[in-house]
Amino acid sequence: MTLARESRESAWWRKYRLNPTLEKFVGLESSATKISDYQFGIVPGSLQSRDYAKAIIEPWVINDPEALAEAVEVRMTRQEFLDASGTTLHAVIDEAVLHRTVGGTDVMRGQIGKMIELAESGFVALQAIPFDAGAHLGMNSGFTVLQFEGPHMSDSPYPVADVVYLEDLGDGQWLDQPAEVKRYLGAFDRLRSTALPTIETIDFMKSFYRARLP
């Protein structure tokens, strides 16, 4: 975490009241040179609209408007930081993400529109796995792989291990053994090969948008 804090000009997240698990994730995410994110049930946090993020986070902070507002702000700031940092972001989602109406139709309309915009801008290489692709190995849960190769960490004398983060109802799980990371990177590559290419994913989302969210 010290390395993560020192690898940028400022650790922007330190002014927020983050729990240790989230602080660790945000710190490492802020230092990663490459992020591979697969999600089965929700839009990846780095691609969420403000309204979608609010609807996702709200069940976790019931009756605490201040905590909700801060959590949403942290998520939006993460996106801004990643956009400015040059981190390579590759995301794969299952079509189920598009079908789950989070926050209502208007929120989903804005969310899908934002993903289309981000994919077209080159901020993220986004791929979707359509239902007609059948069964695939990512149907149980999502995961995020953070890698620390390249110029972002080149000024540090310390080796930084790539890590896998598995989110759950508790504190989440961190995997940093090379064999484990390699296994998840291999799984991500297989999910990418199952998913539609980015250009086709954009067309797919536009078609979904027009058909289901007029």
- Contact between 138 and 25 under an 8 Å Cβ cutoff? The reply is no
Mean pLDDT by 10 residues, the chain (214 residues): 53 81 86 94 96 94 89 92 86 96 94 96 96 92 88 53 85 90 96 97 93 74
| Count: domains in the chain | 1
Instruction: Identify the CATH number of the domain in which residue 79 sits.
Output: 3.30.870
Structural domain that includes position 204: 2-212
Contact partners, residue 123, CB within 8 Å, separation at least 6: 83, 89
- Whether the full predicted model's pTM is greater than 0.85, yes or no, is yes
- Using CA of residue 29, residue 96, residue 180, residue 35, what is the dihedral sign? negative
